[in-house]
C-alpha cells in the first residue's frame, strides 16, 4: 500500500490552527501573542499535564508556546493526515519509500521478538568477529593482535557509528577507534601516520562499494598497507560492509570478512546493522545489543502509544507548530553531556537529508515550509558561545535540552553544577525579565522562548538507543505531516553525479 498523500494545509485542523495562532473568537489575541509565564500562572498543573514519563525518560514540554487547545488541534492534524496508518505501513514493511520502490525497515534490525533470519545471521557474525578482535584471537599478518580499528565510510556509514562510539566511550575497551570519511587527503594522511600496519584492521563501509569518497580512501589505505605487506595479507586486515559482494572480493577482501547491507535500510538509519561493526569492536557486542534493545523499546512506544502520550509524535507536532506557524526555520539540540558531542552532527544528516524536500508525495511543488535546520552543541560550552542570541536575539529558536540525572564517573560536584545549568537555561529562556522593573534596557529580555527538557536517568547503551530512535520517529512524523518522502535523497545523488563530471573535466584539463 502507498502512504496517504494529504496536503496538510487543506485539512480542517490546519485551518483551525491558523485561526488559533492569530485570532481567537470575541476579538481576543491569538496564541501568537501569549506569554508562557501567563499560561503557567493561569494553570498551576501545566507542568504535570505537559509531561510524558516513559521508562527512564521524562519529557517536559510545558515550556512551549501552546495551550491545551493547541495540542488538541495538532493531534487532530495528525489524525487527518492518517499518521496512524502511515506508522502501520512502515512497520509492516510496505514500500513507503515509493520514490525508490523500497521498504523502510531499520526498525526490523532491532526487533528481537520477530527478527528476520538474515538479521540474526548478521548479528551472530558480528558477535563472533568483534569478540575475536577484542580478545586478541584475530591475528594480523605478522602474528600480532589488533590494536586499532579504522572505519572507512561517509554519511550514514560514518556519522552513525562514529557518534555512537564516541557517545559510549565510557564503555569502550582497549581498542583504539578511528574514522576516515572526508576525501581530503590530509584527513587520511593524519590518520595513517600513527598507525601500525601489523596491528590495524580496516572496515570499508559502502552499500554499493562504489561510493567515490569511500573507495578513494580505501584504495589509498590499501596502497599504504601494501608498501610493507602482501596482497594475501589483506584478508587479515580488511573487512567490508556492503551489498556488492563481487566488488568487495575484487578489492581483495575475503568473503568471510564481508557483512551484508540490505535494500530496505537507508544509509542514515544503518548504524543498527553491520554498519555498526566498529561499535561492536569498540564497546563489545553485548553493549551493541543493548543499544538495539533500547531502540526497539522506543519503536514499541512509538507504534502503540496514544499520540497524546507519544514522545516522538508530540515532539514532531511541536516542531510543525513552530516551523509552519511561527515560521521558525531552525531548532537547536543541546545535550548536557560531553559524551554526546557528535550527536548533533549525526542528527543533522538524519533530519535534514530526510526532510529537506520541496516536492510532495503527489509530485507537486510545495508552497509551505518543510525540513527544519538542526544545529547545536553540548552544554555548558554552548552557553558561552551562542546562547546570547537564544536569550536576547530577535529570532525564535525552539530548543531540546537533553540531560542525564546520573553522571557516569560519579563526580557529583561537577554533575550538580552541570545540571543546575541544564535546568536554569530553560527557566531563563521562559522567564526572561518578564514583568520585572529593569532600569537598564540592555539587561532586559522578554523571555517566552520555547524549549523541551528531556531528562534521562543515565547514559547507557540502552538509553542512547532509545534517544536515537526517538529522533528517527520524530522526523518520520514530520515527513508524513508535510506530505513528503523522507527516505530518498535525490539532491545528494545529483551532487554525486556532478562531482564525477567535474572530476572528468579536471583530469582532462590536467593532461592538456
Q: Which residues are catalytic?
A: 353, 384, 496
Q: Could you tell me if 450 and 396 are in contact, meaning their C-beta atoms sit under 8 angstroms apart? A: yes
CA-nearest of 331, 363, 328, 359 to 491 is: 359
Q: Could you tell me if 244 and 208 are in contact, meaning their C-beta atoms sit under 8 angstroms apart? A: yes
> For 156-159, which contacts have Cβ atoms below 8 Å and span 24 or more sequence positions?
156/266, 156/267, 156/268, 156/269, 156/270, 156/271, 156/275, 156/349, 157/205, 157/206, 157/207, 157/211, 157/214, 157/241, 157/267, 157/270, 157/275, 158/205, 159/268, 159/342, 159/345, 159/346, 159/349
Characterise 376 by phi-psi region: left (phi > 0), alpha (psi -120 to 50), beta (else).
left
The Cα–Cα gap between 501 and 68 comes to: 54
Q: What are phi and psi of 53, to 5 degrees?
A: -105, 125
**Helix, strand, or coil (residue 258):** strand
The owner of cell 480542517 is 12
Label residue 300 exposed, middle or buried (CB < 10 Å: 0-12, 13-18, 19+).
Answer: middle
Q: Could you tell me if 195 and 150 are in contact, meaning their C-beta atoms sit under 8 angstroms apart? A: yes
Q: Name the DSSP class of 3.
A: P
The Cα–Cα gap between 434 and 6 comes to: 41
| CB atoms closer than 10 angstroms to residue 2 | 10
CA dihedral 192, 193, 199, 204 (to 10 degrees): 0
The Cα–Cα gap between 231 and 218 comes to: 14
Q: Could you tell me if 307 and 296 are in contact, meaning their C-beta atoms sit under 8 angstroms apart? A: no
Amino acid at each position: 500500500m502507498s502512504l496517504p498523500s494529504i496536503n496538510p494545509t487543506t485539512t480542517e485542523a490546519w485551518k483551525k490552527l491558523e485561526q488559533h495562532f492569530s485570532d481567537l473568537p470575541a476579538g481576543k489575541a491569538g496564541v501568537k501573542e501569549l506569554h508562557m509565564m501567563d499560561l503557567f500562572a493561569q494553570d498551576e498543573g501545566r507542568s504535570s499535564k505537559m509531561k510524558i514519563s516513559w521508562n527512564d525518560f521524562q519529557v517536559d514540554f510545558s515550556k512551549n508556546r501552546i495551550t491545551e487547545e493547541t495540542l488538541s488541534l495538532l493531534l487532530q492534524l495528525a489524525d487527518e493526515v492518517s499518521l496512524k496508518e502511515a506508522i502501520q505501513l512502515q512497520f509492516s514493511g510496505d514500500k513507503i519509500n515509493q520514490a525508490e520502490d523500497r521498504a523502510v525497515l531499520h526498525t526490523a534490525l532491532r526487533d528481537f521478538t520477530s527478527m528476520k533470519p538474515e538479521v540474526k545471521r548478521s548479528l551472530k557474525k558480528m558477535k563472533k568477529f568483534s569478540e575475536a578482535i577484542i580478545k586478541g584471537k584475530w591475528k594480523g599478518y605478522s602474528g600480532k593482535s589488533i590494536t586499532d580499528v579504522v572505519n572507512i565510510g561517509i554519511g550514514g556509514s560514518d556519522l552513525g557509528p562514529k557518534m555512537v562510539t564516541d557517545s559510549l566511550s565510557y564503555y569502550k575497551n582497549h581498542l583504539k577507534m578511528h574514522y576516515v570519511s572526508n576525501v581530503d587527503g590530509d584527513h587520511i594522511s593524519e590518520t595513517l601516520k600513527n598507525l601500525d600496519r601489523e596491528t590495524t584492521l580496516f572496515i570499508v563501509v559502502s552499500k554499493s562499494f562504489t561510493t567515490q569518497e569511500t573507495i578513494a580512501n580505501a584504495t589509498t589505505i590499501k596502497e599504504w598497507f601494501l608498501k610493507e605487506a602482501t596482497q594475501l595479507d589483506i584478508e587479515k586486515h580488511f573487512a567490508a560492509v556492503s551489498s556488492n559482494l563481487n566488488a568487495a572480493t575484487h578489492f581483495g577482501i575475503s568473503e568471510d570478512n564481508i557483512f551484508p547491507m540490505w535494500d530496505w535500510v537507508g544509509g542514515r538509519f544503518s548504524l543498527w546493522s553491520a554498519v555498526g561493526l566498529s561499535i561492536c569492536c569498540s564497546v563489545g557486542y553485548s553493549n551493541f545489543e543493548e543499544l538495539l534493545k533500547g531502540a526497539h523499546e522506543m519503536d514499541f512506544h512509538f507504534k502503540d502509544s496514544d499520540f497524546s502520550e507519544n514522545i516522538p509524535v508530540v515532539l514532531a507536532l511541536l516542531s510543525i507548530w513552530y516551523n509552519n506557524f511561527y515560521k521558525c526555520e531552525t531548532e537547536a539540540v543541546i545535550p548536557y553531556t560531553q559524551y554526546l558531542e557528535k550527536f548533533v552532527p549525526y542528527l543533522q544528516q538524519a533530519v535534514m537529508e530526510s526532510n529537506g524536500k520541496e516536492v510532495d508525495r503527489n509530485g507537486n511543488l510545495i508552497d509551505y515550509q518543510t525540513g527544519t535546520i538542526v544545529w547545536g552543541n553540548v552544554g555548558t560550552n554552548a552557553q558561552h558561545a551562542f546562547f546570547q542570541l537564544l536569550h536576547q536575539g530577535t529570532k525564535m529558536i525552539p530548543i531540546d535540552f537533553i540531560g542525564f540525572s546520573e553522571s557516569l564517573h560519579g563526580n557529583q560536584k561537577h554533575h550538580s553544577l552541570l545540571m543546575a545549568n541544564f535546568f536554569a537555561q530553560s527557566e531563563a529562556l521562559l522567564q526572561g525579565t518578564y514583568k520585572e522593573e529593569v532600569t537598564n534596557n540592555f539587561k532586559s529580555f522578554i523571555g517566552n522562548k520555547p524549549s523541551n527538557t528531556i531528562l534521562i536517568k543515565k547514559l547507557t547503551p540502552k538509553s542512547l538507543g532509545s534517544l536515537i530512535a526517538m529522533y528517527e520517529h520524530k522526523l518520520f512524523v514530520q515527513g508524513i505531516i508535510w506530505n513528503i518522502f523522507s527516505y530518498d535523497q535525490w539532491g545528494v545523488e545529483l551532487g554525486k553525479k556532478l562531482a564525477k563530471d567535474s572530476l572528468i573535466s579536471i583530469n582532462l584539463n590536467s593532461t592538456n
